[in-house]
Structure 1
Amino acid sequence: MSVDTQTRMNLSATLASVSVAGCLVLAKLWALGTTNALSIAASLADSALDLMVSLGGLAAVAYAARPPDEDHAFGHSSAEDLAALGQSLFILISAAAIAVAAMLRLTGEAPPLEAEGRGIAVMFLSVVLTAGLITWQARVARKTGNRVVQADRLHYLGDLIPNIGAILALWASARFGLGQVDSVVALGAAGMLAVGAVRIGLSAWNALMDRRADPRLVEGIAAIADRWPGVRGWHDLKTRTAGSRVFVNLHIELDGDQPLRDAHAIGAGLRREILHHYPHADVIIHKDPDDEPEEDPA
């Protein structure tokens, strides 16, 4: 698959994500005003976060297709981490507001829910659209391996739970008059939102602080270098993350007496192999002469 085709598929997945999130925000705004259900408010806050995350993902994919410029030699992917910090703060505030409102309803007299049937219809629409989006994102992720699409898909998978919970809360209110179920569902959804916000914020903070990449990735690159023909040793393997990119610096030790062309071929081949296994990495390989000459086989 060509790079252009991968880019188009990734853009289609992120555009679909933005479109679905925008439709759900509008639908849930209407449902919240109609039903007065906190569980829908929690789902609305989650959809609003989804819209912001999806817009960030769309921007990240679009920026990834652009080459680095003179002022940003390593690209612009750190903007994704800055946006993620803002998103995590927004969702933490939203989760706290929903949790406080739910607790007040549980400890006091909660206003009755209204038009539960309309709310159930909107939430059912949300489940159907989300399931369709997840199916398309899974197909794109399998073909392109794009981590932004994969992460977005995992996020929307998590959204199915509060959406289904809101449907159950509205059904319990309409069928049995159990309006308090709505507040319990809202508390659970607020907790899920808070956990997700902390995870996103910590990931973005670690990336901005140049924390090394996943240890499994580092071990995988080391294993490739260990077995690569012509490489006598390696050192100073350093990694850092920025948005969806992983930057890798590696020093390899080569026979200092071999022609420059041969040394370049070894380094280029190793770089291609690393990119084959980790296509979202940006790899720089430094070539150092091996201080210890080979023993004479005679």
Structure 2
Amino acid sequence: MRLEKKATVASSSVAALLVLLKLTVGILSGSIAVLASAIDSLLDLTVSMFNYFALHNAEKHPDEQFHFGRSKLEPLAAVIEGTIISFSALFILYEAISKIMHPAPMEYMGASIYVMVASFIITGFLVVFLNYVAKKTKNMVIRADALHYKTDIFSNGAVLFALVAIEYTGEQLIDPILGIAIAFYMIYSAVPIIKEGVLMLLDVALAKEDVQKIEAILKSEPEITAYHYLQTRESGSHIFISYHLVFNISISLYDAHLIADKIEAKIKALFDDKKVHILTHMDPYDDSEINEEEEEW
């Protein structure tokens, strides 16, 4: 099993355990903060299971139906995860406002505190593991999952602090106010995840720095007279690059092919942590202006 899949199995298992603990205590205690954390963990479980499905299918080889594979399932999963985080935040916000308008005393404070301590510690270990996997694999889905659970650490810590404060001060208003703060923080953390996923689904070009590195390689090759139509896009763990290389008209196809292979090897070395697909079009003369005129028509 790939390391990315092991990460999603681990996050799913942790989320399932936390859902059981938090939901039980949240319902019994009547705490909006604990209940909000339970709902967040339930959504974590759903997202982690979907991430496993996305990673499992994204690694499938191209076939007759999907000629370029299913790598876009990874950014799609990230968008769905960010959207779910946002909707869960809105629900928490609604519940918190409702409790401010209709206050109710909390019960089972001791059990709630113990559950949140356990949640804080377990989630902390999970985030360390997910960050390790994300750095090693450069996988967008795992990185989004790590960020998601990192927000859980802050929310779990905040809920724990609130419960202790309520236990010692008796001020019940702390609970819904904290719920509102958690909701806004969840939305804030979800926006970058959604943005990056949407841009990747729209075939956004590689970062300007990466494009400049590719151009530097093309410009440094003395055997080509020019290049044009450099296009790039990223799809999950895959990078797609295409360009036209202009050769001297007298060069043999064999020699031109060797030069093109050498250039491709240099470019792929820039992204050794990604699967790079390069399409090279070899021109005997610079036809960029002619093609531009045809595109305008």
Q: 1:144 to 1:269 in 2, by over 3 A?
A: farther
Letter in 1 for 2:112: G
2:139 equivalent to 1:137: no
Q: Which of 43, 52, 68 is the matching residue for 1:49?
A: 43
How far is 1:166 from its partner?
0.6
Most deviating of 184-193 and 80-89: 80-89
d(CA) in 2 for partners of 1:222 and 1:60? 33
Q: Which of 141, 147, 151 is the matching residue for 1:154?
A: 147
Structure 1, residues 68-118: CA drift from partner, whole Å, max 9, x if none?
111101111334444544444443332222212212323x34111111221
How far is 1:217 from its partner?
3.2
Q: Which residue of 2 aligns with 1:275?
A: 268
Given that 2:200 and 2:234 are in contact with CA atoms closer than 8 Å, whether structure 1 keeps it comes out as: yes
Letter in 1 for 2:186: L
Letter in 2 for 1:190: A
How far is 1:206 from its partner?
2.9
Say which SS state the counterpart of residue 12 (structure 1) adopts.
helix
Given that 1:137 and 1:149 are in contact with CA atoms closer than 8 Å, whether structure 2 keeps it comes out as: yes
Q: Which residue of 2 aligns with 1:175?
A: 168
Q: Which residue of 2 aligns with 1:91?
A: 85
Structure 1, residues 19-59: CA drift from partner, whole Å, max 9, x if none?
22222222221121122111122222332332233223322
Q: Which residue of 1 aligns with 2:184?
A: 191
d(CA) in 2 for partners of 1:178 and 1:229? 75
Given that 2:127 and 2:146 are in contact with CA atoms closer than 8 Å, whether structure 1 keeps it comes out as: yes
Q: Which residue of 1 aligns with 2:292?
A: none
Structure 1, residues 154-201: CA drift from partner, whole Å, max 9, x if none?
332222111100101111111111221111211111112223344333
Letter in 2 for 1:32: G
Q: Which residue of 1 aligns with 2:65?
A: 71
Name stretches of at least 5 consecutive residues in structure 2 with no aligned partner.
287-297
Given that 2:54 and 2:77 are in contact with CA atoms closer than 8 Å, whether structure 1 keeps it comes out as: no
Taking only aligned residues, the RMSD between alpha carbons, in angstroms, comes to 2.6
Fraction of identical pairs, as percent: 32
Q: 1:233 to 1:83 in 2, by over 3 A?
A: same
Given that 2:58 and 2:72 are in contact with CA atoms closer than 8 Å, whether structure 1 keeps it comes out as: no
d(CA) in 2 for partners of 1:229 and 1:36? 73
Q: Which residue of 2 aligns with 1:9?
A: 3
Say which SS state the counterpart of residue 2 (structure 2) adopts.
helix
Given that 2:58 and 2:73 are in contact with CA atoms closer than 8 Å, whether structure 1 keeps it comes out as: no
Q: Which residue of 1 aligns with 2:289?
A: none
Q: 1:55 to 1:236 in 2, by over 3 A?
A: farther
2:83 equivalent to 1:103: no
State the TM-score, normalizing by the size of structure 2: 0.83
State the TM-score, normalizing by the size of structure 1: 0.83
d(CA) in 2 for partners of 1:83 and 1:140? 17
Structure 1, residues 227-251: CA drift from partner, whole Å, max 9, x if none?
3564443322222343454332233
Letter in 2 for 1:99: L
How far is 1:203 from its partner?
3.3
Q: 1:147 to 1:243 in 2, by over 3 A?
A: closer
Given that 2:60 and 2:70 are in contact with CA atoms closer than 8 Å, whether structure 1 keeps it comes out as: no
Q: Which of 119, 125, 132 is the matching residue for 1:126?
A: 119
Name stretches of at least 5 consecutive residues in structure 1 with no aligned partner.
1-6, 293-298
